[in-house]
Amino acid sequence: MSTDANSRTFFKKVVFDDWRQYKGVKEFPLSPDGDHHINAIIGENGTGKTTFAKGVEAGLNGSVPGESGDNGQAEPHVNSKVFDQLDDGDSSSGSIELHLSHKGTDYVITREFASRKEDGVCINSIDQNLTVERHTPSEGWEELSNPSKELARILPPEVQQYYFFDGERLDDLFKNDYEDDVRKAVWDLSHVHVLENVINHLRTLRDERRRTAKSSSGEVQEARDERDEKEAERMDIIHEKARVEQTIDEKESALTEIENKMGAAANDQVLSLIEERAELEAEIDSLVDTEEDLEDEVDRLVIEAGSICLAADALDTATEAFDDLGAQGKLPPAVRRKYLDGLLAEKECLCGCDLETHPDHRQNVEDLRNETPAINDRLIEASYEFPNTRTAGEQAFADLRETIRELRETTQERLKKETKVEDLTEQLRGHNIPDEIDLEDLDEQRGQLRTELRKLQNKQGRLEEQLDTVEGEIEALNQRIDRELDKEARSTELMREVNWYKRAREELVAIKAALMAEVRENIEASIETYFNTLTWKTEQYDITVQEDFCIRIDGPDRQRQVERLSAGETELLALSFIAALTEVSGFDAPVMIDTPLARIDQEHRAAIGSRLPDFLADQQVTFLFTDSEFDDTVSSALEGHLANTYKLENANRVTRFEDY
Amino acid sequence: MNENINEEITNRIENIEDEELQSFLLKIVDYERDVLAQKKPHYKDEYRKLAKPHLDGGDGE
């Protein structure tokens, strides 16, 4: 403790108030003094050594180690003599105070406990809400608002097992399958869990972003394939339409040629019939076009009038409701509040005068505005639109009836003209024409051509409709491609994020592996140094911490199995391991070991005891010795290093102590 | 090795050549240290917030 003692963490004092054997207030000063960094508390079995260690741990953690807390059969937390004097239903309480110095700042950790007698049995409790007071030169003593967090920062609960030991169980650390315990200890003390947390979080984030990227990846190619298919379909239609149009041209030429032949060979009467029939046919074509237009109009009107008809009742009800509101003055029919607000903003009256110069007009407009209910603009719109819609629906019905009538008349007119054409055709075919001209045959050919032409023209119309549809679909697909491209860009961005986390994680995995290897090597070197320093044997041991945290001990003659070491050797290894962990991690905490030499046989106890001062020379170490452990050899070995030494004695269930 | 492994972690990150990545890693490791000291909220929001300036500025490669 000589080097920079103020920066270390150590107990300055432990104070028990009615804690088990420690009846009343018992105060144990423990501060180190220069190179004197070891405290020895000595007592026979049953004098309160383990109670002392348990008291310190209970003060820190709020529970007594090794005790299940089964109330009823538990040893009272308060002094048993005090407990015996309790009446049934009464309780008694006490406290544990730990005075700690951490990096030059003083703390007092206080935890209270109680024992209650119920039906003659003991019910123990330890207050989970401890208090932590801190002393600073500027502020003096202050109670911290978040004591548990502050204590966890100074002495994290997960590492306390490496600073507070029961010597009789110290060799448990190196029982079968000890490798996992060693790995966990290295892990807990080496801060590598910070890296592990980052690595795990980066992996989670990477996987999550990757899933999101996958779900939002664009289907550009699929949309492009569909668009290309439609484009091919469009080209097929265009080619087909061109072929039909060419055929129409050919048929029209053939028709003209036949009609020319018929005209050239015919007399005036026949020509007159041909002309009359041609005029009728032109009129029929025009009527067919009119019929198609009227049919389209009927379709449109059916949709318009039909939808309004379906909603007619609702429209009527709403209109009546609006009428009622209007009658109550709640729905201004003509002047809207918004309009009046606009006038006030523009400073212009309804009459056109300037409201700035005519305050009386301004007042009138404001009054009118204030009388006008502030109702939603949409409601006002609806009050106008609903009756209009109803009227529009009725008009659409009237138009529909008129259009159907017109269509029926047009059809009748066309049918009449077609009958007349048939009559004229009969007449034409009955006339005599020069021998070389077969008028009947020509006219049949003409009729056939006209039929074919009509079919071709229909087909041309259908192809034009198909072309419009396909071009609309192509336009929609192009828009979809744009959207998919946007999604793909988003997905690319997400994949950049995925790649970023991936690279960050890879770097940290490499750092962690290198760091763990280095920590392992340093622990290995440190264990070896401590083991060879503490051992009573003259030979040197070569100690290796393997990748699986298996510890290998090579002596000059043979390799030793950790599991087959003697109890003394195992304890030696445990002490060396603890010292190595502390040294390598740089973590700083006071060490407390109950009965450190209990498992060491008499022959070797003196040898280890004489070397204990070299153990953790920079930290406060408190040993709780039995009388037999603290023999002359150990006592003289520690003499120049002891800071505080106390002798415990127990009489009549009460421990007393004095300087040794 | 440094006496303090936390410092060693920082040193090793500072040796990473890519300064953008180095800066990001230092920030998230610092953040995790604060989390362990129970000072910070959920990590995902914080990581994404810390990654954003690096992703906006570079190509993330």
Rounded distance, CA A425 to CA A440, Å?
9
Q: Determine the pLDDT at residue B60.
A: 45
Q: Is the pLDDT of residue A62 over 80?
A: yes
Would you say residue A446 has pLDDT above 60?
A: yes
What is residue A48's predicted lDDT score, i.e. its pLDDT? 92
Residue in chain A closest to B36 (alpha carbons) equals A194
Position A411 confidence tier, pLDDT thresholds 50, 70, 90: very high
Q: Do B9 and A511 touch (CB under 8 A)?
A: yes
**pLDDT of residue B1 exceeding 80:** no
pLDDT surpasses 70 at A410: yes
Least-confidence region, from A78-87, A125-134, A371-380: A371-380
Most confident of A3-17, A267-281, A388-402: A388-402
The two tokens of residue A519 are 């920590």
Indicate the pLDDT class of residue A3, thresholds 50, 70 and 90. very low
Interface-testing mutation among B17, B24, B25, B56, with chain A (most A C-beta atoms within 10 A): B25
Q: Are A652 and A48 in contact (CB under 8 A)?
A: no
| pLDDT confidence bin for A95, thresholds 50/70/90 | very high
Give me the pLDDT at residue A69, please.
Answer: 56
Residue A16 pLDDT level (bands cut at 50, 70, 90): very high
Q: Yes or no: say if A104 and A41 are a contact pair by the CB < 8 Å rule.
A: no
Give A143's DSSP letter: E
Closest residue on chain A to B30 (Cα): A194
Q: Which residue has the higher pLDDT, A6 or A600?
A: A600
CA A200/CA B32 separation, integer angstroms: 11
Give the pLDDT confidence score for residue A330 in this predicted structure: 66
Q: Are A185 and A162 in contact (CB under 8 A)?
A: yes
Of A35-39, A129-133, A355-359, A367-371, the one with minimum mean pLDDT is A367-371
The C-alpha angle with vertex A570 and arms to A10 and A611, in degrees rounded to 5, equals: 55
Q: Which residue from B3, B25, B47 is facing A507, i.e. has the nearest CB?
A: B25
The amino acid present at A615, given as its one-letter code, is F
List residues bridging with A29 in a β-sheet: A13
Average pLDDT over residues A526-536: 83
- Other C-beta atoms within 10 Å of B38: how many? 11
Residue A206 has pLDDT above 60, yes or no: yes
Of A102-111, A283-292, A433-442, minimum mean pLDDT range: A433-442
Q: How many angstroms separate the CA atoms of A645 and A660, rounded?
A: 5
Q: Closest Cα to residue A582, out of A51, A135, A180, A189?
A: A189
User: Interface pTM (ipTM) of the complex?
Assistant: 0.80
How far is residue B53 CA from its own chain's centroid? Answer: 13
Instruction: Give the closest-approach CA distance of A199 to chain B in angstroms.
Output: 10
How high is the pLDDT of residue A253? 93
Interface A–B counts its CB contacts (< 8 A) at 86
| Other CB atoms within 10 A of residue A16 CB | 26
Of B1, B4, B47, the CB nearest to A201: B47
Q: Which of A391, A392, A379 is nearest to A326 (CA)?
A: A379
Phi-psi region of A324 (alpha: psi -120 to 50; beta: other; left: phi over 0): alpha
Q: Considering chain A, what is the average pLDDT of its residues?
A: 85
Query: Considering chain B, what is the average pLDDT of its residues?
Result: 80
User: What's the whole-number mean pLDDT along residues A76-90?
Assistant: 91
Structure confidence at residue A449 (pLDDT): 92
Among A205, A499, A511, beta carbon nearest to B60: A499
CB contact under 8 A, B12 and A503: no
Cα A321 from Cα A325, distance rounded (Å): 6
B 42-61 residues with CB below 8 A of A? 43-44, 47-48, 51, 54-55, 59-61
The token pair at A329 is: 């003055």
Convert A85-100 into a string of H (helix), E (strand) and C (coil). Answer: CCCCCCEEEEEEEEEE
Percent of chain A residues topping a pLDDT of 90: 35
Which residue is closest to A189 within chain B, CA to CA?
B5
pLDDT at A416 over 90: yes
- On the question of pLDDT at A104 being above 60, the answer is yes
Calpha distance A58→A39 (Å, rounded) = 20
- Chain A residue with Cα closest to B44: A205
Please check the confidence at residue A43 and state whether its pLDDT lies above 80. yes
CB contact under 8 A, A191 and B60: no
pLDDT higher than threshold 50 for residue B2:
no
Q: List C-alpha distances in Å: A496 to A508, B20, B51, B60.
A: 19, 14, 11, 6
CB contact under 8 A, A194 and B21: no
Tell the burial category of A616 from Cβ atoms under 10 Å away from its Cβ (0-12, 13-18, 19+).
buried
Q: CB A194 to CB B47 under 8 A? A: no
Residues of A near B (Cβ–Cβ under 8 Å) read 149, 152-153, 190-195, 197-198, 201-202, 204-205, 208, 493, 496-497, 499-501, 503-504, 507-508, 511, 514-515, 518-519, 522, 584-586
B32 close to A (CB below 8 A) = yes
SS3 A113: strand
CA neighbor of A153 nearest in space, from A105, A201, A207: A105
Q: Assign A605 a pLDDT band (cuts: 50, 70, 90).
A: confident
Q: What is the largest CA-CA distance in chain A?
A: 159
Alpha-carbon Rg of chain A, whole angstroms? 53
The whole-number average pLDDT for the span A271-277 is: 84
- CB-CB contact of A595 with A40 (8 Å): no
On the question of pLDDT at B58 being above 90, the answer is no
Q: pLDDT above 70 covers what percent of chain A?
A: 91
Q: What is the pLDDT of residues A216-237, one digit of tens each?
A: 777 888 899 999 999 999 999 9
Q: Do B51 and A507 touch (CB under 8 A)?
A: no
Helices A192-215, B43-57: crossing angle, 10 deg rounding: 70
| Residue A310 reports pLDDT greater than 70 | yes
Q: Which of A4, A29, A11 is nearest to A107 (CA)?
A: A11
How far apart, in whole angstroms, are the C-alpha atoms of residue A111 and residue A95?
A: 6
**If pLDDT is split at 50, 70 and 90, which confidence band does A94 have?**
very high
